[in-house]
Homo-oligomer: A and B are copies of this chain.
Amino acid sequence: MTSAHPFDIATELQPDGADRFIGETSSDYANMVGPFGGITAAVLIRAIEKHPDRLGEPVSLTVNFASPIADGPFAVCTQLVRTNRSNQHWIITLQQGDAVTTSATAVFAIRRPSWTATEASAPDAPPADTLARQEFPDFITWTRNYDMRFAEGGPSTIAAGTPAGSAATVWVRDLPARPLDHPALTALTDIFFPRIMMRLGKFVPAGTTSLTVHYHASATQLTEHGSGYVLATARANHFGHGYFDQTTRLWGLGGTLLATSSQMVYYKEPPSP
């Protein structure tokens, strides 16, 4: 008998009437406060995938983290706003009791073959097996479920107290390895620690407020990718007035761009004197 992957346990949902699913936080994906944001975003995509009226595959997802999710059960409520011939628009909320902890929108669509081109360039990085697996502090529990091998910009800059640029490049996959799908890809867009900590070379209170994922890979492409490493890059454009942005690109085998994302992250750090 094979036991379920921690990711599948953490994103498991039971239908509870029309447009409502029940899930439960998993201690495997705990962050410092509440669950890892990436697993919450993955749960929302999984809810739509499980919906009987769902059409196609994810095109875009925006998740707004309104308040911490407490350990325990939660409800995912879905509202199908509109179904067009080839795409579909959803509003999603994650609720605990009467409180909406997370609001989101998603666009799904039938992804047909079309003219194809990639303008962005995949970064250069040494092969994953030539890099050491990054270790993280025990209290960031969710990192145990990822095999991350940094080619650039790992968390050692924080530990060393060395201010640096915000760019990072990392090979990453689920641990244990697991075939890539859209929920898992969604979670991977949120694996990067807040860029402000790299910039300042120290711990800074920070948390993602809004995450947007744009999906480039079809389900077929993810199946072809399998359980291999994804090459992920992150950087920031601007820090100011208590928020910075953090953009990522996720690359698959053969330089296939799987997804891009951008998030706005709250941080608390006074102006330079």
Contacts and interface: CB of A to CB of B under 8 A. Distances in A.
Contacts of A243: 59, 109, 111, 216
A99 interface: yes
Q: Which of A116, A166, A214 gathers most chain B CB within 10 Å?
A: A214
A224 to B, nearest CB: 13
B67 A84 contact: yes
Contact of A241 (B82, B114, B166): B114
Contacts of A89: 64, 66, 100, 103
Interface in A228-256: 235-243, 245, 249
18 contacts: A60-B64, A60-B210, A62-B210, A64-B89, A64-B105, A66-B84, A82-B100, A89-B103, A113-B271, A114-B269, A114-B271, A115-B200, A115-B269, A115-B271, A117-B239, A117-B240, A119-B235, A120-B238
In the complex, which range does the number of interface residues on chain A fall in? 35 or more
A262 B212 contact: yes
Given A114-B270, A264-B59, A119 B67 contact: no
A87 interface: yes
A272 interface: yes
